[in-house]
């Protein structure tokens, strides 16, 4: 596998709190890519963490689950910390658990859900459309995917705020504010506690939702224990919520700051699907990790069993070796092999649903609010970590 024997530059940043990364979660990876094909980081991680920066290497790593196990998708936690199903499973076990969920995430299922998604989307936008302003994230970006997730899980939408608070604490508390991890641990326990109660409730009163389906499903002829149901439900919650909210924030800020792109979409909504693909490429929000399973020389990068490898999708998707004019948003880009949804066996299960949610949001918003701008750039807050995004984004029209 050796094709270079360059010294590997060391970088120092804690992905959960690094100031430069949080100030610009996308530009940061451009800077990293310029430092070398592979980097190594020892800061804020439990083992040496290798960082490939180029598209081809990141794509290859995603597609080599034998060498790079999903058993640890965060480099700052011991691998025993949890076992998120299916994202932290490997091999046949992963295939079985993933297949169980497939019927809920087909293109046909996304089409079937689209009218409901459009209804919730319109209802949310109409709550503030005539007010001339909103905090895009608080009033729309986070509520919209939360409602959809809650609909899928058969959860009451009046609990949306409670879920959002927990999710925010768990995903976006900087390590500097929570050095012992207490806030994050408590939020995680609150979510597990609520979902645990819900599993018991659904067992007593089955409904037509994903949770009831999972309760009744069997793996190797056996029902899943509650601990696994809990892991499953938790991942579905985290997987579908923050990612969509983060991507929506990026899209709507881009359209606020780039009126020419916005006007093109208003004039010709048939461009919206290709624009969404380009936004997914340019503003990729997920940085995931893998556990190295054996000593190896990965294209000149000397890794040892037990090390971690960090896969920044933003670094891959903005690599000029793969994308001409990678640093420009081209909303009608013709060839766009982006990997915003990952690649290989763990490629995002919710990608069809996510694309439908994003497309419907842009269509419904621009039909009602074709002209808008950022109210005051100094009030914008954004975060990085495993999933990047915005905490606050005030818009006016």
Site of tokens 């609909």: 151
Q: Is 75 in the site for ligand HEM (CB under 6 A)?
A: no
Stretch near ligand HEM under the rule CB under 6 A, chosen from 37-45, 198-206, 235-243, 328-336: 235-243
Torsion angle of alpha carbons 144, 361, 247, 353, nearest 10°? Answer: 80
According to the binding rule CB under 6 A, does residue 170 interact with ligand HEM? no
Using alpha carbons, select from 393, 166, 397 the residue that is nearest to residue 283: 393
| Smallest distance, ligand HEM to C-beta of residue 302, A | 23
3-class SS at 224?
Answer: coil
- What is the nearest approach in angstroms of ligand HEM to the Cβ of residue 387? 8
- Shortest distance in whole angstroms from residue 244 CB to ligand HEM: 5
310 binds ligand HEM (CB under 6 A): no
The two tokens of residue 342 are: 């990952």
Site for ligand HEM in 90-149 (CB under 6 A): 98
The piece of 12-20, 156-164, 291-299, 335-343 that touches ligand HEM (CB under 6 A) is 335-343
Q: Which residue among 49, 69, 288, 310 contacts ligand HEM (CB under 6 A)?
A: 288
Is 380 in contact with 390 (CB distance < 8 Å)?
yes
Query: Which among 102, 110, 152, 87 has a CA at the least distance from the CA of 345?
Result: 87
What is the C-alpha separation between 363 and 147, in angstroms, rounded? 18
Which of 29, 147, 282, 341 is close enough to bind ligand HEM by CB under 6 A?
Answer: 341
Asked if residue 188 binds ligand HEM (CB under 6 A), the reply is no
Residue 279 contacts ligand HEM per CB under 6 A: no
Among 1-9, 41-49, 208-216, 348-356, the segment contacting ligand HEM (CB under 6 A): 348-356
Count CA atoms within 13 Å of residue 55 on its CB side: 16
- Assess 243 for contact with ligand HEM (CB under 6 A): yes
Residue in 124, 340, 356, 395 binding ligand HEM, rule: CB under 6 A: 340
In DSSP terms, 39 is beta-bridged to: 51
Handedness of CA 23, 387, 252, 53 (dihedral sign): positive
């Amino acid at each position: 596998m050796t094709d270079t024997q360059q010294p590997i530059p060391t970088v120092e940043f804690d992905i959960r709190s690094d100031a430069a990364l949080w100030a610009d979660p996308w530009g940061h990876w451009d800077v990293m890519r310029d430092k070398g094909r592979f980097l190594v980081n020892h800061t804020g991680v439990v083992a040496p963490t290798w960082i490939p920066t180029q598209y081809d290497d990141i794509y290859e790593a995603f597609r080599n689950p034998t060498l790079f196990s999903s058993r640890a998708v965060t480099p700052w936690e011991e691998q025993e910390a949890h076992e998120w199903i299916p994202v932290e499973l490997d091999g046949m076990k992963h295939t079985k658990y993933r297949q169980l969920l497939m019927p809920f995430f087909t293109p046909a299922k996304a089409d079937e859900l689209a009218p409901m998604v459009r209804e919730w989307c319109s209802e949310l936008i109409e709550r503030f459309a005539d007010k001339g302003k909103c905090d895009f994230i608080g009033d729309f970006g986070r509520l919209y995917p939360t409602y959809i997730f809650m609909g899928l899980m058969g959860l009451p939408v009046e609990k949306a705020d409670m879920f959002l608070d927990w999710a925010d604490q768990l995903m976006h508390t900087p390590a500097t504010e929570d050095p012992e991890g207490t806030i994050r641990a408590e939020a995680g326990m609150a979510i597990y506690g609520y979902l645990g109660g819900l599993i018991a409730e659904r067992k007593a009163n089955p409904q037509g939702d994903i949770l009831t389906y999972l309760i009744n499903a069997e793996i190797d002829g056996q029902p899943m224990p509650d601990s696994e149901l809990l892991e499953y439900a938790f991942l579905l919650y985290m997987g579908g919520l923050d990612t969509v909210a983060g991507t929506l924030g990026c899209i709507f800020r881009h359209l606020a700051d780039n009126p020419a792109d916005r006007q093109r979409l208003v004039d010709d909504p048939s461009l919206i699907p290709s624009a969404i693909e380009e936004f997914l490429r340019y503003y990729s929000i997920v940085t995931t990790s893998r556990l190295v399973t054996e000593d190896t020389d990965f294209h000149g990068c000397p890794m040892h069993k037990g090390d971690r490898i960090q896969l920044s999708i933003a670094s891959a998707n903005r690599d000029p070796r793969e994308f001409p004019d990678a640093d420009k948003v081209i909303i009608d880009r013709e060839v766009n092999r982006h990997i915003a949804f990952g690649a290989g066996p763990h490629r995002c299960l919710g990608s069809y649903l996510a694309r439908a949610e994003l497309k419907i949001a842009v269509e419904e918003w621009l039909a009602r609010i074709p002209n808008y701008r950022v109210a005051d750039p100094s009030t914008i807050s954004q975060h990085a970590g495993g999933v990047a995004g915005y905490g606050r984004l005030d818009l006016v029209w």
